[in-house]
Amino acid sequence: MSKEEKSMANLPDFVGRADAFIELAIEYEGVWFPPLVKTHILDQLKTFEVREDDVLLATYPKCGTHWMMEIMSLMEHDGHVDKVKRDPDPAHFSDLSFAIPPDFNSSVMDILDKRPSPRFYISHLPSQLLPPQVWTKKCK
């Protein structure tokens, strides 16, 4: 069983513990991640097909990402608050690097591939781990 699989298997035992992040963290290319980030998903990012009309919100964690998502939702709906719908789709404004429950094998990218343009998504990844096409396709 890999360290990643052990992390997920032991996750219920760590809920609420202050040391959970330290014991369950996963290292990938010199960067440490919480257990909901899976290495196979980070590998998949390298071949993620970026579209020129994609909108990527790249921020540091805990610095107003949710507020920016709300502003971008309003922009998407021409500023009409009543038109802003709360989309239950987990890929709408979801972090590219996170695995999707319940099995944590699928990713936001799997859902984004099926979404019509323009697609909105976020990332807290350092620039060197973003999909390479972010730089060549000139997404927003």
Residue tagged 């922009």 (tokens): 75
| 61: Cα separation from own chain's centroid | 11
Same domain? For 107 and 79 the reply is yes
Q: Which of 40, 66, 92, 124 is labelled catalytic?
A: 124
68 in the same domain as 102: yes
pLDDT number for residue 131: 94
Residue 62 confidence class, pLDDT cut points 50, 70, 90: confident
Q: Please confirm, yes or no, whether 124 is among the known catalytic residues.
A: yes
Token couple for 114: 């099926």
Judgement on whether residues 85 and 19 belong to the same structural domain of the protein: no
Domain that holds residue 19: 1-35
Give the tokens for residue 96.
Answer: 């590219």
83 shares its domain with 123: yes
- Helix then strand count (H, E) for the chain reads 6, 6
Residue 66 is predicted with a pLDDT of 85
Q: Are residues 81 and 64 in the same domain?
A: yes
Task: Judge if 26 and 75 occupy the same domain.
Answer: no
- Do 129 and 104 belong to one domain? yes
Looking at residue 92, which CATH number applies to its domain? 3.40.50.300
Tell me: the pLDDT tens digits for 8-18?
A: 565 556 566 66
Identity of residue 40 = H
One domain, residues 75 and 105: yes
Judge if 25 and 57 occupy the same domain: no
Look up the pTM and report it: 0.75
Query: Which residue in 90, 93, 105, 102 sits closest to 43, CA to CA?
Result: 105
Claim to verify: residue 21 and residue 53 sit in the same structural domain: no
Question: Percentages helix, strand, coil for the chain, rounded to the nearest 5?
Answer: 35, 15, 50
Closest C-alpha to 56, from 94, 110, 83: 94
Determine the pLDDT at residue 28: 94
What dihedral angle (degrees, nearest 10) is formed by the CA atoms of 8, 130, 93, 32? 30
Per-residue pLDDT reduced to its tens digit, 63-78 = 998 888 888 888 887 8
Number of domains in the chain: 2
What is the C-alpha radius of gyration for the chain, rounded to an integer number of angstroms?
16
Query: Do both 17 and 79 map to the same domain?
Result: no
103 or 113, higher pLDDT? 113
